[in-house]
Chain A
């Protein structure tokens, strides 16, 4: 068997063929389809996350009418997502911002990263399931492509919470650490702080997002410059102020205006260019090729190892579609059987209930019947008693009558006797 790859030669074309137009075709298709991007922002409340998002995308995702989740301090960590569709130059972008209000705000912050990890894993799982389905026509990509982690500008170094969080998330998502509210640091303090943070990141072996080297030397120079500035110190603002007759976005202080888009004041433009203009696609690719693959291999390894999977579906991609269909049909049948069994159960339960109810009412009726019988008996007894009394009275009265009669008779007899006697005389 010859290895075909070894025999590929470079050939020069003798005319214009036209496949140089391929990128344009890809471009047109992508523009029609639109792009998706999911950005997660994590950090303690009050670090300017909502403001930065508004500044990055020049829209008020969080405005006065719909205040961001960070306006209220939550008791537990929530994960909230907001979707927005923005259009620019005919290209549409479905942007999903995932916010984590309550992160790091409580007194006890142990495991405050757990909801974040759960969210990321659930999105990966959704994608895995969608990929393993038979019908894959619409496969929305909701995986988190980038996580911006906000570091408070203490000027000293990373906090234990920062280190813990980044260590747990660096192999699940692209982590880009940012220094928030950077207008609180003087340039010297900022330099020291950045150095200290990078030192600690290397000490703890945290893998933050790395910019890939390109073939172009010019681009490489830019990328090296960006790498030196990591972590980026940002300031966010969507308020326009006037400086020297120019309208800029910035923050107005009594001692001056900190301009958001001024490269000397902060690294906001670097972040925006990197995130949106140059490396958005790369972030998505790394998410797909590295983080998602990590997740997938871990998940599938767990399944094939144990044979028992606690997840909802078994993603066995090595089976043929027919077997897959058979599997699905069997599953469906099982589901139906289960539903049937459940319904039967419910039916039985209802029957039992009804029976019980009838029994109860029967017992009730019997009781009442008993009671009535007793009532009647009691009445009967009473009446008997009365009758007895009455009979007695009657007997008494008759006896008396008889006595009276007897007396009368006696009296009449004696009268006759007397009469006879009287008559003789």
Chain B
């Protein structure tokens, strides 16, 4: 009797482990596949803003990042070489595709920043632009008849170019980053890093990190938005390395039989993707390969929500602040699951944000 009883559960147990379409398998993990298919159909949007003095290689870096001519200079028919008298904001969009994944990339350039003799308040037009994008999104969101998928023109990430002086941050850099780290994700990079030797580079980075800390500037990845220990570990490694020392190039050369992007000088060729030469590969991985979604989430659920709370409180809108904290979630679960990946994540982070907004 006991033998037969023993024999019975055994084959049953084996079956559980080996077959997928088995007794205890529900199929929740198939949602990942559904999400992937949906995302591929919809495509992604990414809006990057580049800020820095003229001549720091912003356009070249954008071209290098996306391996195509996406910068303002490559697109406009007659790129003006003169420095504009006031800051202009030029926004250029491209549709790029890789392995079936489509992306609408918008590069927002700011020629004229920091180039004048008197640069007082040169950050104003930029802040206004960022807030305008939030405003457009907000208006669309509180519309009664709103579109299925709100076009996202909010600035997800702002790359700030620091000139490679090798000493310390300039007052203009500190002012700008202090003000903008509160409304947008800032990723500082050291431009034209081929002008610094390795020791100078390390010293410069250390000085910059200290100054950022001393001035209370929180650049991406922000410490307070780490979700769990694993995140924190990854982000800590990144925080050790910022600001990235980058070199950009859109010209190809042959080195050791391989075709690589680089800059050729009389004393050697600088390979852009070689991590022994510069940290461009780290920046690219951060922005595109590993943290793109996280950047968009933080923009959507924290920076945008901050703006939204402020605006709605200001204008004493129809919604009271309590139930309107999750309108992004409620109607959407009734309707079609749009932008599902970001919404699901927004749920987790929105709770965190509620705590933040109540603190504010």
Q: Which residues of B contact A (CB under 8 A)?
A: 53-56, 81-83, 115-120, 163-168, 170-172, 175, 192, 194-195, 197-198, 263-271, 276-277
Residue of A nearest to B255 (CB): A255
**Size range of the interface on A?**
35 or more
* Contact A259–B267 (Cβ < 8 Å): yes
* Contact B117–A45 (Cβ < 8 Å): no
* Contact A105–B171 (Cβ < 8 Å): yes
Which stretch from A26-34, A155-163, A205-213 is at the chain B interface?
A155-163
Looking at chain A's contact residues, the main secondary structure is loop
User: Known contacts A107-B119, A160-B83, A254-B276; can you find 15 more A-B pairs with CB under 8 A?
Assistant: A45-B170, A46-B164, A46-B165, A73-B168, A105-B170, A107-B172, A108-B117, A110-B118, A154-B55, A157-B83, A186-B265, A253-B277, A255-B269, A265-B266, A265-B267
* Contact B163–A184 (Cβ < 8 Å): no
Residue of A nearest to B276 (CB): A254
Q: Which of A73, A105, A153, A255 has the most CB of B within 10 A?
A: A255
Q: Could you say which of A105, A157, A184, A252 contacts B194, with CB atoms under 8 Å apart?
A: A184
A321-347 CB contacts (< 8 Å) to partner B: none
**Chain A residue contacts of B194, Cβ below 8 A:** 183-184, 253
A293-352 CB contacts (< 8 Å) to partner B: none
Known pairs A73-B170, A108-B118, A154-B54; A186 contacts B165 (CB<8 A): no
* Any B CB within 8 A of the CB of A223: no
Give min CB distance, A301 to chain B, whole Å: 31
* Contact A109–B265 (Cβ < 8 Å): no
Give complex CA distance A357, B249 in Å: 83
Top 8 A-B pairs ranked by shortest CB distance? A154-B55, A46-B165, A256-B268, A255-B268, A256-B267, A184-B195, A108-B118, A156-B55
Convert A95-107 into 0s and 1s, putting 1 for each residue whose CB lies closer than 8 angstroms to a CB of B.
0000000000111
The 15 sampled A-B contact pairs (Cβ below 8 Å) are A46-B164, A107-B119, A107-B172, A107-B175, A109-B117, A152-B55, A157-B82, A164-B117, A183-B194, A183-B195, A253-B197, A253-B267, A254-B277, A258-B265, A262-B266
Q: Could you say which of A46, A154, A265 contacts B167, with CB atoms under 8 Å apart?
A: A46
* Contact B267–A45 (Cβ < 8 Å): no
* Any B CB within 8 A of the CB of A138: no
* Contact A155–B118 (Cβ < 8 Å): no
Give complex CA distance A156, B82 in Å: 8
**Chain A residue contacts of B267, Cβ below 8 A:** 183, 253, 255-259, 265
* Any B CB within 8 A of the CB of A278: no
* Any B CB within 8 A of the CB of A181: yes
* Any B CB within 8 A of the CB of A88: no
Give complex CA distance A323, B219 in Å: 73
Give min CB distance, A43 to chain B, whole Å: 11
Known pairs A108-B118, A108-B119, A184-B192; A156 contacts B167 (CB<8 A): no
Give complex CA distance A178, B159 in Å: 30
Residue of A nearest to B121 (CB): A107
Give min CB distance, A403 to chain B, whole Å: 100
* Any B CB within 8 A of the CB of A264: yes
